Amino acid sequence: MASIRKDLPVYLYDTGKSLSVRAANKLRKNGYTDIYILKEGFNGWQGKKKSKKTV
């Protein structure tokens, strides 16, 4: 957690929500306050997605 800055927002997501909630709780216990969880997980993301390139 030392590499996650406390002065910036933290955005969490997973394939559902359970892991993100657990991570958010751990972050809060360690002094993080600006935490956001993507409501429907990664599968609910509506924004741009980077395409995968194969070589």
Domain borders along the chain are: 10-44
Cα–Cα distance measured from residue 9 to residue 35, given in angstroms and rounded to the nearest whole number: 6
Sequence-separated (6 or more) residues with CB below 8 Å from residue 45: 13, 38
More confident residue, 54 or 5: 5
Q: Which tens digits make up the pLDDT trace of 21-55?
A: 999 999 999 999 999 998 877 777 777 777 766 65
pTM for the structure as a whole: 0.71
Residue 5 banded pLDDT, cuts 50, 70, 90:
very high
7: number of Cβ within 10 Å: 6
**Distance of alpha carbon 55 from the chain centroid:** 29
Quick check: 9 pLDDT over 90?
Answer: yes
On whether the CB atoms of residues 13 and 35 are closer than 8 A, the answer is: no
